[in-house]
Amino acid sequence: MSILLYKTILYLHILSAMMSIGPFFVLLPMMKKLREADLAKQQAYLDTFRSTTRLAKHAGHILVISGVLLVMGGYWSWKSSWIVITVLILVCSLYFLARAFSPKIRKFNEADQDKDKWVQSLTRSIWIYLFLLLTMLWFMVVKPEVW
C-alpha cells in the first residue's frame, strides 16, 4: 500500500472516530432540555437523538472498515494487544448501542411514562457509551503493549 493511500485511510479513520464520538457530547446538555420539554419539543429532541445515533452508527462502519484496511496495509499484527482489546471493546459497544438507546427512546411515546426516569436512563447510557468509545480511542492513540 502506498504511503499516500495509507495516510488517506488513516485520515478517514480519524475523521470517522470524531464523527462517532463527538455528537454524543452534544446530547448531554440536550438531556436537561428534554426533561423540561413539552410534547412537540420532546419529539424534536428525540429526533435529534435518533439522528445522532444513526450518524454514529454509519461513521462506525467507516471506522471499522478503515481500521481493518490500516491493519492489513500497515505493520501492526491482529494479535497486537491494543488491537485485540479495541476489537473486544468495539463488540461490547455495538451490543450496548443496540440496547441502550432505541428501546429507551420508544418508551417516551408510551402513555404514563416516567419522563424523568427515562431521561436519567438515557443520560446514563450516553456516559457509558462515551466511556466505551473514549477507551477505544485511548487504545488506538496510545497503542499500549499489554502482552
84 within some domain: yes
DSSP letter for 37, please.
-
Residue 21 lies inside a defined structural domain of this protein? yes
Provide the residue type at 106 as one letter: R
Each residue of 75-108: pLDDT tens digit? 899 999 999 999 999 999 988 887 888 888 887 7
Task: Report if residue 147 sits inside a domain.
Answer: no
Cell match 436519567: residue? 120
Nearest CA among 134, 127, 15 for reference residue 86: 134
Q: Which pTM does this prediction carry?
A: 0.86
Looking at the domain assignment, is residue 94 inside a domain?
A: yes
The three cell numbers of residue 64 are 471499522
Could you read off the pLDDT of 39-69 as tens digits, one per residue? Answer: 888 889 999 988 988 898 899 999 999 999 9
- Which letter does DSSP use for residue 1 in this model? -
Number of H helices, E strands in the chain: 5, 0
- Domain holding 125, by residue range, is 3-142
Question: Could you tell me if residue 117 is inside a domain?
Answer: yes
Q: Please return the burial class of 99, using the count of CB atoms within 10 Å of its CB with bins 0-12, 13-18 and 19+.
A: exposed
How many domains, the chain?
1
Per-residue pLDDT, 11 = 97
- Reference 133, options 57, 28, 56, 21; nearest CA is 21
